[in-house]
């Protein structure tokens, strides 16, 4: 494999190409920051794109019949309504609904089928993994109406130790009198599943504090199944998408979000008490290790990372489905480790609910062909 810094090769862009990273649309209204590019794939072209994946789904031992597989992909991946599909295939809308529901049930039961669809998503988005090591991409200030934020963005490649193909990490702070508001956003790209997953966490601190910020109790996830009208894609790395999304996330967090609830929660908990979601942050672990003699900080850290990684595995493999709709047997199969409560013999819905209680999840499926 030949790698030369500063050029593009078929295996992906190099470091110099990525070092052109620059925040975009910093001076426009917040709802205009991320350019939207609705799908223009017509139904005939969509059917052609589906052909090889339909074949793979129908030939798998857990397979879905060809008609149901094709109609499922057109319905859920391309977003065509049952009415449009009924007209195309000269059947009734209830027939389309029955076929696609049956296919969905199998996909939720057998993760291998979901993986086949994830590969289809990735190919449609033409994702290309960057051939670069982790390094900072950009550091500077983003101006807003009431303040300015100091921001840093870094790139991190995936490996067998982490459950993503590559990621971009944003850290931003804004000063408000003697208070500093903090924003952490990780943009996770899964090449195998064809998903852009955004994980964010807000916190605040004061100038006199000599400890980590107080962070919110839930990680916020936004899932973008690819290709997506709200995820600009120039070269397959989604670097361009992050250039837009980071500006949106900073302005949204520091100008639109109500921080008073977080500050009130800190007063209730005691601002030195960290939430379960925050216990998975390296800086919180480091601070606790300085002040605690027990192994509780390490246990909390590893437990939260374990839950976070497993939750994100479900979100990436089933980006169109609420976790509560995924069968418990499938969750258990995908969950790396024990999901059961210590005194329970069987997994139940409460176990899943407890496991993901530090996650707040939303989906941005896009209008596509609806």
pLDDT tens digits for range 142-177: 999 889 999 999 999 988 788 899 999 999 999 999
User: Which are the contacts of 38, defined by CB distance < 8 A and separation ≥ 6?
Assistant: 229, 366, 367, 368
For the chain, the distance separating the N- and C-terminal CA atoms, rounded to the nearest angstrom, is 43
Contact between 305 and 278 (Cβ < 8 Å)? no
The pair of structure tokens assigned to 292 is 């605690």
pLDDT tens digits for range 69-112: 999 999 999 999 999 999 999 999 999 999 999 999 999 999 99
pLDDT tens digits for range 192-209: 999 999 999 999 999 999
The pair of structure tokens assigned to 263 is 């500050």
Biggest CA–CA distance in the chain, Å, is 70
pLDDT tens digits for range 273-330: 888 888 999 999 999 898 887 789 999 999 999 999 999 999 999 999 999 899 999 9
Whole-number Å distance between alpha carbons of 364 and 337: 29
For residue 296, the tally of other CB atoms under 10 A from its CB is: 11
- Residue spans of the domains in the chain: they are 10-256+363-370
pLDDT tens digits for range 336-356: 876 655 445 556 667 777 777
329: Cα within 13 Å, side-chain hemisphere: 7
* pLDDT level of residue 114 (50, 70, 90 thresholds): very high
Is residue 2 pLDDT above 50, yes or no?
no
């Amino acid at each position: 494999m030949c790698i030369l810094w500063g050029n593009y090769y078929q295996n992906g862009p190099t470091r110099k190409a990525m070092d052109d990273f620059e925040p975009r649309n910093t001076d426009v209204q917040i709802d205009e920051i991320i350019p939207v590019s609705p799908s223009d794939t017509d139904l005939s072209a969509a059917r052609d794109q589906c052909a090889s994946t339909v074949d793979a789904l129908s030939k798998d031992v857990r397979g879905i019949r060809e008609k149901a597989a094709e109609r499922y992909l057109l319905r859920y991946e391309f977003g065509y309504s049952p009415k449009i599909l009924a007209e195309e295939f000269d059947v009734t809308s209830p027939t389309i609904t029955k076929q696609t529901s049956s296919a969905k049930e199998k996909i939720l039961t057998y993760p291998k089928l979901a993986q086949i669809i994830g590969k289809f998503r990735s190919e449609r988005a033409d994702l290309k993994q960057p051939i670069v090591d982790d390094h900072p991409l950009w550091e500077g200030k983003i101006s807003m109406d009431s303040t300015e934020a100091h921001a840093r963005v870094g790139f991190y490649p995936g490996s067998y130790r982490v459950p993503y193909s590559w990621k971009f990490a944003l850290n931003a702070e804004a000063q408000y009198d003697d208070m500093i508001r903090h924003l952490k956003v990780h943009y996770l790209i899964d090449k195998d599943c064809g998903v852009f997953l955004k994980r964010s966490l807000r916190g605040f601190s004061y100038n006199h504090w000599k400890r980590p910020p107080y962070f919110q109790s839930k990680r916020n996830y936004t899932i973008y199944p690819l290709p997506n009208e709200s995820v600009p894609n120039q070269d397959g790395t989604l670097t361009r998408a992050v250039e837009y999304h980071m500006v949106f996330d900073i302005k949204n967090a520091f100008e639109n979000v109500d921080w008073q609830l977080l500050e009130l929660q800190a007063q209730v908990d005691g601002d030195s008490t960290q939430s379960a979601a925050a216990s998975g942050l390296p800086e919180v672990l480091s601070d606790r290790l300085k002040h605690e003699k027990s192994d509780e900080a390490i246990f909390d850290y590893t437990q939260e990372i374990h839950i976070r990684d497993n939750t994100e595995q479900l979100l990436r493999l089933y980006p169109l489905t609420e976790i509560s709709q995924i069968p418990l047997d499938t969750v258990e199969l995908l969950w790396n480790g024990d999901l059961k409560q210590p005194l329970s013999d069987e997994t139940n819905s409460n176990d899943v609910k407890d496991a993901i209680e530090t996650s707040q999840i939303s989906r941005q499926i896009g209008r596509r062909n609806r």
